[in-house]
Amino acid sequence: MSPADDPDLARALPVLAAVREAAPLVHCLTATVSMQLVADGLLAAGARPMMTETVVEAPVVTTVADALLINLGTLSTDAMDGIPATVAVAREQQRPWVLDPTAIGIAPVRTPLARRLIEQRPTAVRGNASEILALVGEAGGGRGADSTAAAESAAGAAAEVARLTGGAVAVSDAVDLVLDASREARLARGSALLPRVTGTGCLLGALTAACTAVWEDPFEAALAATTWMALAGERAASRATGPGSFRMHLLDALDEIGRRP
């Protein structure tokens, strides 16, 4: 569909165009398992990834990045050490940064770490309903990176997180929810194949960081990233014969959305 026929795309398009124009450098401390999809997805979207997580290098190299992504999935010892110092530098340098509290809940290090990071006022937070509920101390039935709770059940928790951070919060689900202190939007787009590929949620966190790098308003940036991923998922699903081919088409589609009908 062209923007004229798709109001969701029309709204997101200026942000997508700004990412493609600026090619922001996004420094990612992210889950090992999805590092490659995150990096390939950022490149497909027109942004540029950088991935270094040790405490001796990550804080230094983040000074040249345009945005920072902190994803807590498969949290290594290097990342545990590197994350707080790197966030501190991003804050000092007034870079936008995104928190993706992957798989928090019962995990004993990442869960309190995520709550402390909220105090560092991330520009945007992206997670599934279980993770957003766990951020404010509510149990949401999460096991691993999966969510057993619907986005709507985390609407109150998301609003509470937005109040604490002053930024945007995106809850990913069949109907995505994006909100900040004063606005909210719901998006019933995307594909059931998205959760059948490892790291699509992590990639959405990274795209959100890329959008915050080029767009002043965190709410519109987070909504544009969510829309970008959902529309790419729809296009990929129309071409895919299963989760393997969907993953490949998803990267092609991120490159195409808003540029080729």
The residues binding a second copy (CB under 8 A) are 25, 27, 31-37, 39-40, 43-44, 48-54, 56-57, 60-61, 63-65, 73-78, 80, 103, 106-110, 143-146, 195-199, 240-245, 247-253, 255-256
Scored b (16 or more CB within 10 A) or e, 167-189 reads bbbbbbbeebbbbbeeebbebeb
Tell me the sheet residues that pair with 143.
146
CB of 74 to a second copy, least distance (A): 5
To a second copy, the closest distance from the beta carbon of 159 in angstroms equals: 28
CB nearer to a second copy: pick between 7 and 242:
242
Annotation: binding site for ATP: 126, 172
Distances (CA, A) of 252 to 8, 40, 229, 237, 249: 20, 10, 12, 12, 5
At closest approach, how far in Å is the CB of 30 from a second copy?
A: 9
Task: Identify which of residues 18 and 65 has a Cβ nearer to a second copy in the complex.
Answer: 65
CB-nearer residue toward a second copy: 143 or 163: 143
- DSSP conformational letter for 63: G
For residue 186, the minimal CB distance to a second copy (Å) is 26
Retrieve residue 38's tokens.
Answer: 């995150």
Least Cα distance to 167 among 209, 204, 138 occurs for 209
**Closer to a second copy by Cβ: residue 17 or 51:** 51
Residues 6+ apart with CB under 8 A from 164: 118, 119, 121
